[in-house]
Amino acid sequence: MSDIQIKSDVTAKLVNVWANDVMVAKAARVSTLGKESAADDLPTEALINFLMRDRHGSPFEHTHFTFLVEAPIFVAREHMRHRAGWSYNEESGRYKELEGLFYVPSSDRALLQVGKPGAYSFKNGSDAHFARMASNLLGAYGEALSAYKDMLKAGIAREVARMALPVGLFTSYYATCNARSLMHFLSLRTISEESRFPSFPQREIEMVADQMEASFRESMPNTHAAFVAHGRVAP
Amino acid sequence: MSDIQIKSDVTAKLVNVWANDVMVAKAARVSTLGKESAADDLPTEALINFLMRDRHGSPFEHTHFTFLVEAPIFVAREHMRHRAGWSYNEESGRYKELEGLFYVPSSDRALLQVGKPGAYSFKNGSDAHFARMASNLLGAYGEALSAYKDMLKAGIAREVARMALPVGLFTSYYATCNARSLMHFLSLRTISEESRFPSFPQREIEMVADQMEASFRESMPNTHAAFVAHGRVAP
Amino acid sequence: MSDIQIKSDVTAKLVNVWANDVMVAKAARVSTLGKESAADDLPTEALINFLMRDRHGSPFEHTHFTFLVEAPIFVAREHMRHRAGWSYNEESGRYKELEGLFYVPSSDRALLQVGKPGAYSFKNGSDAHFARMASNLLGAYGEALSAYKDMLKAGIAREVARMALPVGLFTSYYATCNARSLMHFLSLRTISEESRFPSFPQREIEMVADQMEASFRESMPNTHAAFVAHGRVAP
Amino acid sequence: MSDIQIKSDVTAKLVNVWANDVMVAKAARVSTLGKESAADDLPTEALINFLMRDRHGSPFEHTHFTFLVEAPIFVAREHMRHRAGWSYNEESGRYKELEGLFYVPSSDRALLQVGKPGAYSFKNGSDAHFARMASNLLGAYGEALSAYKDMLKAGIAREVARMALPVGLFTSYYATCNARSLMHFLSLRTISEESRFPSFPQREIEMVADQMEASFRESMPNTHAAFVAHGRVAP
């Protein structure tokens, strides 16, 4: 069996950003003040709070975040279901030989699913559960990588050989969004007591979302605070 | 090792459709005739031809095709990169236990990749190539399914157990588009001598696209003919 | 001064539709049941209610409504700010000579604006208010139409001559959407006590929205009921 | 009659930008190189040229341009028909009293329309044509502004009073796009001998597009050169 590499975390690194709270306020003020950029009587923070509360979303779109995400394929699959205001470029199994790097949950990941579809919760498994998961994943990953490499060695096309590879394999992609599309993503892919609507993200995409939220909070503190204050609903 | 089922074809079945050439002409004529629906001096076929040639795309959007696609995960991954004018709902490995149905290319599938990234071509492999591919895929698929089932048996969450499953596993999804977004998909996911721009789709998504094109041709013969006549470029 | 025609209502006529509640349920069930179309234990109505409550929006997108709208330009301007899931084709002042049909509010239209930006309310004016509005609008409309016609008569291009025409002029356009994008439009362009979030549409686009809502309710009664029950928030 | 202000030019001022050629190449290389950012054997310029030729559009989306546009309403109307990859915030006639600033074409603007719908060309008018246009526009504009102001003075709501105002009135808006959506806009809204597909923009939106193209060329010289070299077709 081939030697595999494993990793238990995912990363969403901010690589480019053009975003700040002042631009949100400027875009909103064009409605009431026209081309004049002079401030109106409502300061930036209060204006953003009003926009969030009454769900005026468009002023948040004149911003730009680009992340480089490294995560397993099943996370990329969920991420790329977000269409509006998102752009993606991903590593291709047709164009390059994929590395044998696989995801295995860490021992503190809740492994047992409780409840019904649409409202699952999760609880921790025993050490035996963890061991059984790890050995099954490692076994399947190793078999898959061996099969993949053997096909490549025989000259079979990468796009065919990759069919053997599991959705636990790591991939890399650039993901670009604006503050509005990011808030929509966060509303669905994070879990928080402040949320007005329930969300049930898989832990691994939540790890991506949490890192994106930290970048968002840093670039746009007023917008982030208003997002939280108004129930984490995207405007 | 678990018993696996295999299949060598994919399907894209038309389940709903509201589309015809007359609506394209009506939508275009609103520009020149306003609310009056009386025909202008250009008949439908000639009008559609003109719209395609000069790339007036919006009149093609007032149409609707819904397909039920059954294809491996790597096809769904490519399909869902199409964002504008597409809607999707897919089988979820978090909400249901996935069936052990896997894709293995048929013996007439070209297995050998020739040329450079961005301009690959493919040629047929020998019987030995086919045998080596088949045994590797079947081996990896069987291992993966066994690992998956063993984890489920141990009570581990479906969303964790599925990490072992390969991108060659079948999935099902509804995909809805309009004639414009469909033409854009076809321009990239089919191969044709009439194409003005080169395209290099993987064979398996081309199989999906070919079936969608047959439905499109049947519902909108004039639009399809104009699409072909003008180099298979989406307007 | 040229003879003008006036109208005090707007129309949004349903011209094509492919939409029903059953398709929403089918699209949602593909997640939990895969390709099998057999009903799960949750009936359609309850399933739609659950989707709306937890804001699972994508199953509502496999539907299609096309409207022919006849409304003043200022309404079309607001309407076409809706981008996601909407398609438009409009009468063109470059391609045809525009008709002299103009909008004048009817006598029951509230003419006086009260309150601050973002939270206006309106109250009825006196007969004198109505008379003053009517004479001003009719005067400006007549002048504009005369100027337009005089320029056309002199051979000046339609695209230049139209610059004189007011945003109160009627235009016609086809607008196509799906049930999800329609609900988003309705959440912003109608006023209702059931709304969880406040909305402040101009009366004239509300008249368009009310007609669209009637078509929506008729085609998709369960979806409409769930939309209302959950605060008229688009999922 | 009220005093009006007139202007014969439009402006599209770049207010924010995050865009360069290197990011396009990086996004493209993630396909072939994965997370490694090391250069492949194709330099940036050649890689961008290849992407443009073969119409790989997504790598161009990780960029961001925000413009403040000041132009007449009929230009804003055409601009906002561009939905994918565009965000807008515009001055509102509901929230503020609009200024009496109007557009009158300059004397070098071709005023006479020749040919058929979909393939118009324009030629210069005589001095008499110009004078007739100017007096008609100024007359209609003045009447409209007087009517507007008289209604406001009587306490009638701004959203009603504005119905009298013409599409030749100036408005202001922020418009944000990425390099891909910008190229699509340029392909339709500029006229050039290098264009592979014909385009017939109205002169006034072409003036907006020309200014945007200058900003684009400056930020992304390789991308712009490839766009021109490949027939000004958006990838």
The mean pLDDT of D111-139, rounded to a whole number, is 88
The mean pLDDT of A160-182, rounded to a whole number, is 98
What does DSSP assign to residue D154? Answer: T
What pLDDT, on a 0 to 100 scale, did the predictor assign at position A1? 58
Query: Which candidate in C47, C50, C54 is best for mutational testing of the A interface (most A CBs within 10 A)?
Result: C54
* D210-230 residue pLDDT tens: 999 999 999 999 999 999 999
Other Cβ atoms less than 10 A from the Cβ of B123: the count is 10
Of the candidates A164, A228, A225, A218, the residue with the CA atom closest to the CA atom of residue A19: A218
* A201-229 residue pLDDT tens: 999 999 999 999 999 999 999 999 999 99
What pLDDT, on a 0 to 100 scale, did the predictor assign at position B38? 56
The structure tokens listed for A58 are: 């468009």
Task: State how far the Cα of B189 lies from the Cα of B201, in Å rounded to an integer.
Answer: 5
Helices C221-229 & C44-53 angle (0-180, nearest 10) = 40
pLDDT band at D197 (very low <50, low <70, confident <90, very high): confident
pLDDT band at A116 (very low <50, low <70, confident <90, very high): confident
How many residue pairs bridge chain A and chain D with CB atoms within 8 Å of each other? Answer: 104
* Residues of C catalogued as catalytic: 189
Assess whether pLDDT exceeds 60 at residue B115.
yes
Residues 6+ apart with CB under 8 A from A64: A16, A17, A18, A19, A176, A177, A178, D18, D63, D64
pLDDT band at C33 (very low <50, low <70, confident <90, very high): confident
* Gap from D134 CA to chain A (nearest CA, Å): 26
Lowest-pLDDT range, A122-131, B217-226, D4-13? A122-131
Assess whether pLDDT exceeds 60 at residue B125.
yes
Per cent of chain D over pLDDT 90 is 83
User: Which other chains touch chain D, taking contact as 3+ CB pairs less than 8 Å apart?
Assistant: A, B, C
DSSP string, D100-136: -EEE---TTS--EEES-TTS-EEE---HHHHHHHHHH
How many residue pairs bridge chain B and chain D with CB atoms within 8 Å of each other? Answer: 20
* D57-90 residue pLDDT tens: 999 999 999 999 999 999 999 999 999 999 999 9
The mean pLDDT of C110-131, rounded to a whole number, is 85
Of the candidates D46, D15, D16, the residue with the CA atom closest to the CA atom of residue D29: D46
Question: B109, B189, B203, B232: which is the annotated catalytic residue?
Answer: B189
Residue D172 forms beta bridges with which residues? D70
Average pLDDT value over all residues in chain A: 93
The SS3 call for residue C43 is: coil
Lowest-pLDDT range, A147-156, C194-203, D137-146? C194-203
Assess whether pLDDT exceeds 80 at residue C106.
yes
pLDDT band at D122 (very low <50, low <70, confident <90, very high): confident
Assess whether pLDDT exceeds 90 at residue B143.
yes
What pLDDT, on a 0 to 100 scale, did the predictor assign at position B32? 85
What pLDDT, on a 0 to 100 scale, did the predictor assign at position D86? 97
pLDDT band at C187 (very low <50, low <70, confident <90, very high): very high
Which letter, b or e, does each residue of B163-202 get, where b requires 16 or more Cβ atoms within 10 Å of its Cβ? bbbbbbbbbbbbbbbbbbbbbbbbbbbbeeeebeeebbbb
Residues of C in contact with B87 (CB under 8 A): 58, 61-62, 178
Which letter, b or e, does each residue of C211-225 get, where b requires 16 or more Cβ atoms within 10 Å of its Cβ? bbbebbeebbebbbb
Residues of D in contact with B54 (CB under 8 A): 118, 197-198
What pLDDT, on a 0 to 100 scale, did the predictor assign at position C97? 93
What pLDDT, on a 0 to 100 scale, did the predictor assign at position D39? 58
Q: How many CA atoms lie within 13 A of D149 on its CB side?
A: 12
Residues of D in contact with C147 (CB under 8 A): 136-137, 139-140
Assess whether pLDDT exceeds 60 at residue D231.
yes
User: Which other chains touch chain B, taking contact as 3+ CB pairs less than 8 Å apart?
Assistant: A, C, D
Helices B179-189 & B203-219 angle (0-180, nearest 10) = 140
Cβ atoms C223, C46 nearer than 8 A: no
What pLDDT, on a 0 to 100 scale, did the predictor assign at position D114? 83
What pLDDT, on a 0 to 100 scale, did the predictor assign at position B135? 97
Residues of B in contact with A124 (CB under 8 A): none
* Gap from D46 CA to chain B (nearest CA, Å): 13
The structure tokens listed for C224 are: 């409409």
Task: State how far the Cα of D13 lies from the Cα of D68, in Å rounded to an integer.
Answer: 5
The mean pLDDT of D14-43, rounded to a whole number, is 86
What pLDDT, on a 0 to 100 scale, did the predictor assign at position D95? 87
* C44-66 residue pLDDT tens: 999 999 999 988 999 999 999 99
What pLDDT, on a 0 to 100 scale, did the predictor assign at position C197? 86
CB B159 to CB A94 under 8 A?
A: no
List residues of chain A with CB under 8 Å from any CB of chain C: 31-32, 50, 54-55, 58, 81, 84, 117-118, 188, 197-198
Per cent of chain C over pLDDT 70 is 95
User: In Å, how far from its chain's centre is CA A108?
Assistant: 20
Residues of B in contact with A170 (CB under 8 A): none
The SS3 call for residue A16 is: strand
Strands (E), chain B: 5-7, 11-18, 64-72, 86-90, 101-103, 112-114, 121-123, 170-177
pTM for this entry: 0.95
CB B159 to CB A95 under 8 A?
A: no
Lowest-pLDDT range, C2-6, C84-88, D183-187? C2-6
Assess whether pLDDT exceeds 90 at residue B131.
yes
No. of helices (H) and no. of strands (E), chain C: 8, 8
* Gap from D172 CA to chain A (nearest CA, Å): 6
What pLDDT, on a 0 to 100 scale, did the predictor assign at position B114? 83
What pLDDT, on a 0 to 100 scale, did the predictor assign at position A39? 59
Query: Which candidate in D31, D40, D48, D54 is best for mutational testing of the B interface (most B CBs within 10 A)?
Result: D54
* B172-228 residue pLDDT tens: 999 999 999 999 999 999 999 999 888 889 999 999 999 999 999 999 999 999 999
What pLDDT, on a 0 to 100 scale, did the predictor assign at position C36? 64
The mean pLDDT of D139-149, rounded to a whole number, is 97
Assess whether pLDDT exceeds 70 at residue D1.
no
User: How deeply is B84 buried, as exposed, middle or buried, from its count of CB atoms within 10 A (0-12, 13-18, 19+)?
Assistant: middle
What pLDDT, on a 0 to 100 scale, did the predictor assign at position B118? 62
pLDDT band at C95 (very low <50, low <70, confident <90, very high): confident
Locate all alpha helices (DSSP H) within chain A, ordered by sequence: 21-33, 44-53, 73-79, 127-153, 158-161, 179-189, 203-219, 221-229
What pLDDT, on a 0 to 100 scale, did the predictor assign at position C42? 80
Which long-range contacts does B226-231 make (Cβ < 8 Å, 24+ apart)?
B226/B48, B226/B49, B226/B51, B226/B52, B226/B53, B227/B52, B227/B183, B227/B186, B228/B192, B228/B194, B229/B49, B229/B52, B229/B194, B230/B49, B230/B52, B230/B53, B230/B196, B231/B194, B231/B195, B231/B196, B231/B197
CB C35 to CB B172 under 8 A?
A: yes
What pLDDT, on a 0 to 100 scale, did the predictor assign at position C1? 58
Assess whether pLDDT exceeds 90 at residue B78.
yes
What pLDDT, on a 0 to 100 scale, did the predictor assign at position B10? 97
Of the candidates B7, B157, B173, the residue with the CA atom closest to the CA atom of residue B91: B173
The mean pLDDT of C148-175, rounded to a whole number, is 97
* B144-159 residue pLDDT tens: 999 999 999 999 999 9
The mean pLDDT of A197-201, rounded to a whole number, is 88
CB C118 to CB A84 under 8 A?
A: no
Cβ atoms A148, A203 nearer than 8 A: no
Chain D residue closest in CA terms to A12: D35
Q: Select from A95, A112, A166 the Cβ nearest to the Cβ of B165.
A: A166
* Gap from C107 CA to chain D (nearest CA, Å): 13
* Gap from C201 CA to chain B (nearest CA, Å): 25
Task: State how far the Cα of A31 lies from the Cα of C117, in Å rounded to an integer.
Answer: 10
Of the candidates C180, C231, C224, the residue with the CA atom closest to the CA atom of residue C53: C231
What pLDDT, on a 0 to 100 scale, did the predictor assign at position D2? 65
Query: Which candidate in A11, A17, A18, A29 is best for mutational testing of the D interface (most D CBs within 10 A)?
Result: A18
Per cent of chain A over pLDDT 70 is 95
Handedness of CA A170, A175, A179, A182 (dihedral sign): negative
* B3-60 residue pLDDT tens: 899 999 999 999 999 999 999 999 999 988 877 655 567 889 999 999 999 889 999 9
The structure tokens listed for D67 are: 């413009």
Other Cβ atoms less than 10 A from the Cβ of A199: the count is 17
pLDDT band at A34 (very low <50, low <70, confident <90, very high): confident
